[in-house]
Chains A and B, each alone.
Chain A
């Protein structure tokens, strides 16, 4: 694999992705939302001194859980399927490049675009928070977890994209997968919990299957250095992993990212016909 070719394709993909108005819509929407939440949460007179983790921070995490995977999955789903539908993928692959260079170039470009969008959103939100104080280390750790979630979601989007031939199909599938990750999986988990009453260890394991929940745990840890607020499963995680918990969570999200991109590449490379 020639890195120069990968980088050339990555730049093209980045340029293409940055022209996607939806990406900026998501980024600015998230930024404005986070800014508003920060303002609303911190502005009550006198209470900034307590600086705690409450419903406002929870709302921020909720928004992130909705927005970040949406950005990742929809951008990822459009990358290959869209080019395949337009015919540009065939022409690109007819050049003296191999599929790995094309795939990873596209992945790199899309990842940079998503990171740029998140950086913009968080940058705006951060400026809003700055006026009220706040812990920059926690804030940047939260950004880091959001970026990892976006990359894992992007990988999932790439799997969808590699499997589909039309952009519209890919977008539809992306929304279904997003819904499954955001709502359906957790609702299923609630039902299963009420039926089977799992132990804290089992519950934690089930929760960590979902990259969104991994991110959520990481986000809470970033903001308050513990996840014991999440009840027995959170306490179990703290006892089991202690200070290494953020590294465990980062590893899981990195694993999700690597696995999803590897699967997507497997589909893209083995799906012989363009």
Chain B
């Protein structure tokens, strides 16, 4: 039945069916074509075994959105990605290593020309290296690239994002070509007109710079950048965030120029020590926020030039730690409106430097910072110093003006200048700034700071070694035994043998002086002195003080320069002093000993003379010093000291004894004892030269006498002649009767006497002392009667 209602109903059903069919058709089309398009995003496998053996072949077959999986192997050539693909390297099943993309030293290894490309998991190496080309490991020329987990090595530039906005560079390891010095290398990462790029978790090392130019809103987070030139170089790039990065051992850390809105947070910047090695530098940059950064051991912590640049902009440094930097903050003189708040300045060599000097101390704000060299107090206990921290050091000001003077840092002279400046207000420098209420406690170090290596054991060992060296020196000094054992000491020579064994040698022992002269300044002390002493003889050196006796003794010992020649046993003293001294035992007028015991003194000189130590007790016994062996020499009497000197002289049993007024300071008993000892030695055959003032010593010891007198020629004489010379002349006054007086005078003159009448009724006879009795006897024998006489000594003997 085709009622309008039924027709309407049929039409409605038809429309419903039609719609259902339409829907099914759409589903069918989707199923046919949509699923076909999903299957195009499949993985294309590239490996040495296929299905694709080259990346280029896979790339040609790939559609946008495909993933090209590269499994191991080395793929050479310059790869250009002009489709939006994911290029993913997976380790080879055999080698286990990432696939390598190698450009063979020509051009860029991977160039991305399509948006939304991912390059992940490759070893990328061997780009070109021409300095006028930007050859890179990866160059990005399109937006939204994702570059991650690649290792780039031996590439000039690492990753060059040129007009690649919104790209992400993540977890890559990048280094440049090792053969070039840093200026010749390319940049590890370079951003060029690429806003909103994120650089994170990358390790950039031994490359040139990490450059961000003309790129706004860049985020640089958690990267490790080391051993490069500029850690991060930001230019014309506003609204950047640089956070949680570690920058180690670059020439410069982070340097921002001509940018606005730069935020540096939680970075750890150490050892930036290039020629201008600043951890952080800012030039003509506005709205700078620097917080919680750790800046350690850099040449400069912070450098400010024209920052903040425009009015109403700011530069804030807050809660940063600046430690062990050469200069914590360097600012150009015109810098102003910078705020330093709650920072810690710890052990920086110079806390703040105004480059070139000058500037105003009020230009910037310093508030509540900690200064490790602050010496003020906190009487009210509020954690703030009660007096301002003022940076005013004269030598610092000098180095600010003339940086080359920094070479004198740490010198006492620099300290002296600072001391002078502090002491004398006239030279007090102008303060660079003042922090009115400094903090008294430094900020805690970040928890991530590595504790120092535990070297306590090594340091203790090194210290103990040094203390042992000190102790060793003391032991050496205190040891009684020589360090060189007696076996290595030359065996005793004939000198050290008893006299009985050396008769032949003694027979040759002679001392000969030829024309010996000595002048001290303008004073002629010795003039043309010549003599010879034969073996076994004793020669006395006689003369007044200043006659040159001691000078002659010194000359014989070779202790002074002199004219003429002195030979000891045929050897020239001047040329062979050591040998000739070996033939001589010397006793000075007053022997000066070291402050030792008798025994130690003897042992010391025994060593010098190569005499066995056993000889010492024997000699001490012989000279009556054995009971005093352990005494200090300072405790000996004068006589004992001279006996000790004689003992030392006799240590090597020398053939010649040279004694320089040895008894001058002794009492009569000691003198007699000493002379007896020397007389014994003479009897044993020693050749003896001795200076003396005492007649009885010469009488007792000398065979001949060398007479020395100031400004007079020397005279060598036998004992008789000497006696005659040293006997005093006398004037004998005689009283005789008037009738005999003239005759007696004439008689004496006729007999060779020197007699004259003196006009007072007496005769005066001049004669030698020993002849006066003979004059009296002569007169008496010839009939003259001498009523009385008087003797007057005319001259004194020196």
Contacts and interface: CB of A to CB of B under 8 A. Distances in A.
Interface of A: 2-5, 7-9, 11-12, 14-16, 18, 27, 41, 44, 46-56, 58, 61-62, 65-66, 86-88, 90-91, 93-98, 112-113, 115-117, 119-120, 122-127, 129-131, 133-136, 139-140, 143, 182-183, 185-187, 189-190, 193-194, 197-198, 200, 203-204, 207, 212-213, 216, 220, 224, 226, 228-235, 272-274
A204 B273 contact: no
Contacts of A194: 398, 402
Given A11-B477, A204-B407, A65 B561 contact: no
7 contacts: A4-B490, A96-B652, A97-B581, A112-B473, A126-B463, A185-B413, A186-B412
A201 B458 CA distance: 38
B405 interface: yes
A99 B474 CA distance: 26
Interface centre among B405, B411, B474, B561 (most CB of A within 10 A): B411
A54 B577 CA distance: 57
Interface of B: 273, 275, 296-297, 299, 323-324, 326, 346-349, 372-373, 398-399, 402-417, 442, 444-445, 449-456, 458-467, 469-470, 472-474, 476-479, 482-484, 488-490, 554, 557, 559-561, 577-579, 581-582, 584, 586, 588, 590-594, 604-605, 607-610, 652
B735 to A, nearest CB: 56
Which 5 A-B pairs have CB atoms at the shortest separation, nearest pair first? Answer: A52-B324, A54-B347, A231-B406, A126-B463, A186-B413
Nearest to B450: A49
A231 B404 contact: yes
A189 B469 contact: no
A266 to B, nearest CB: 15
Contacts of B405: 190, 193, 231
A8 B399 CA distance: 52
A15 B478 contact: yes
Contact of B408 (A46, A186, A274): A186
A14 B477 contact: yes
A115 B464 CA distance: 15
A62 B410 contact: yes
Contacts of A113: 473, 477
Given A53-B324, A235-B275, A273-B561, A91 B588 contact: yes
A139 B459 contact: yes
A83 B445 CA distance: 59
Chain A interface helix/strand/loop/mixed = helix
A49 B452 CA distance: 5
Given A58-B349, A120-B467, A229-B299, A65 B449 contact: no
B581 A96 contact: yes
A50 B476 contact: no
B482 A8 contact: yes
B76 to A, nearest CB: 38
B459 A95 contact: no
Nearest to A52: B324
A197 B454 CA distance: 46
Contacts of A27: 470
A135 B407 CA distance: 25
Contacts of B557: 93-94
B590 A87 contact: yes
A16 B469 CA distance: 18
Nearest to A4: B484
B667 to A, nearest CB: 22
Interface centre among A94, A139, A234 (most CB of B within 10 A): A94
Contacts of B465: 123
Given A91-B588, A229-B409, A16 B594 contact: yes
Nearest to A131: B456
A204 B581 CA distance: 50
Contacts of A140: 462
A116 B452 contact: no
B274 to A, nearest CB: 9
A54 B608 contact: no
Nearest to B577: A98
Contact of A232 (B403, B445, B460, B489): B403
A98 B451 CA distance: 59
Nearest to B444: A46
A211 B587 CA distance: 44
